[in-house]
A and B are shown apart, each in its own frame.
Chain A
Amino acid sequence: MIMSQVQGLGRIGIEVCRDAGVAFFLLLTSLIGRFNFVKGFKRLVEQLYFVGVLSLVIIVLSGTFIGMVLGLQGYTILVRFGAEQALGQLIALSLVRELGPVIGALLFAGRAGSALTAQIALMKTTEQLSSMEMMGVDPLRRVIAPRFWAGQISMPVLTLIFNAVAILGGYMVGVEWLGVDNGAFWSNMQSAVNFKEDIVNGIIKSLVFGTVVTWIALYQGLHCVPNSEGIGRATTRTVVYSSLAILGLDFFLTAVMFGEI
């Protein structure tokens, strides 16, 4: 009785370790040398379109609205202290440091990550991946690597667009609608935001999130149970795990980057 429980625990432990190892090697092989950028350029562009360009609509729309909400909420609180001049700095700092990378990555996980998982899981279920192997084509190089690099490249680009659009949204509400002084809005923003410390750190964050989200998506796709239920579960797991990983990692990255003031 007790022995069988111990055995069950041991089995779970071994499975976790094996999965972690498989996932690690997947990341390693996608990162190092598996992808030929010159020969695979066409496939990379295709995936960039699929992962990056098609995510643009949701990123731009949600960016505008988040910027507008920040402008509105920030104004109503700051105006109470007569400090509505600091609105630009509030919007820019909170977007560039936190909201841009995190919300961008959450949207990216929902829009692109789940689609990647579903694609690859279906390829696995219909045995396209194994037939590729039979033909001597390496599916890691042909299918996984271009998707990995596409996610890696488009995540920072999407985050930058999100930040820019959201700041413009905040500008629209704050300056055009609520009447904060235009000059004070931008000059306070410029004196508060530092390129190296804020914007570059935000880009580093989005790079990390891009890696993690595409990694989880591709791994879940490759290792799903090959039936229709398995595809559904793998897709759900991608979104759940990526969201948790983004929020958890964000805390650590923030602690490392902005912890010591």
Chain B
Amino acid sequence: MVKMKTLEITVGAFMIAGIAALLMLAVEVSGLSHICKEESGYQIKAEFTNIGGLKVRAKVSVAGVVVGRVTHIQLDPESFNAIVNIKIIEQRAPNLPLDTKASILTSGLLGDNYIGLTPGFNDQAFLKQGDLIEVSNTDSAFLLEQLISKFVAGQASSNAPPSKH
């Protein structure tokens, strides 16, 4: 049998290796440190007529720079529009103009949906915690199926025999 002291030392080293592995998985692999740093932020809402395939935790970007995440998606019971809650990270985008436009975009041809914000020109009033981007200021998801069906319908009507004038 191994001596008690060396035995305890090896078990201690084993435990330290385990903790080091957990730390590596947390920091390097899942990027937990970024999430911890990004804690402070403010929530805004945006109303869309159709969000397509948008999911919770999708990114929110301004000019391609990620400034926040989608935190919650629900249906407005009266207007039947989708209300998307967005968390903006304070230090990345502290002042977004009140007339900012939100649109749902797709990364690549088949990629995930994300929200792109286009800042407006109002430099007096800024979006605060709990503010809503109205449905008139948002662009809904670009649905390939709808586009195709519109295109096909357009083709069909242009191919139709010309009406007599």
B21 engages A199 (CB within 8 Å): no
Binds A, one of B12-20, B39-47, B91-99, B142-150: B12-20
A156 engages B25 (CB within 8 Å): no
Q: How many A-B residue pairs have CB under 8 A?
A: 75
Tell me which of A42, A154, A160, A191 contacts B31 (CB under 8 A): A191
Interface code B11-41, partner A: CB below 8 Å = 1, 0 otherwise?
1011101101110111011111011000000
Tell me which of B17, B29, B32 contacts A161 (CB under 8 A): B17
Instruction: Tell me the nearest residue of chain A to B8, going by C-beta.
Output: A45
A190 at the interface (CB under 8 A from B): yes
Q: How many angstroms from the CA of A193 to the CA of B24 in the assembled complex?
A: 13
Q: How many angstroms from the CA of A42 to the CA of B31 in the assembled complex?
A: 37
Q: Which residues of B contact A249 (CB under 8 A)?
A: none
B11 engages A52 (CB within 8 Å): yes
A164 engages B24 (CB within 8 Å): yes
Interface size class of A (residues with CB under 8 A): 20 to 34
Q: How many angstroms from the CA of A189 to the CA of B25 in the assembled complex?
A: 11
B21 engages A195 (CB within 8 Å): no
Chain A contact residues: over half helix, strand or loop, or mixed?
A: helix
Instruction: Tell me the nearest residue of chain B to A150, going by C-beta.
Output: B11
B29 engages A199 (CB within 8 Å): yes
Tell me which of B7, B29, B35 contacts A49 (CB under 8 A): B7
Residue total for B at the interface (Cβ-Cβ under 8 A):
25
B29 engages A189 (CB within 8 Å): yes
B74 at the interface (CB under 8 A from A): no
Q: Which residues of A contact B22 (CB under 8 A)?
A: 160, 199
Q: How many angstroms from the CA of A157 to the CA of B15 in the assembled complex?
A: 7
Instruction: Tell me the nearest residue of chain B to A47, going by C-beta.
Output: B11
Extra A-B contacts (4), CB below 8 Å, given A45-B4, A49-B14, A163-B25: A49-B11, A154-B14, A189-B28, A193-B29
Sampled A-B contacts (12; CB under 8 Å): A45-B11, A49-B7, A49-B10, A49-B11, A53-B11, A92-B29, A160-B25, A161-B18, A163-B21, A167-B29, A195-B32, A198-B30
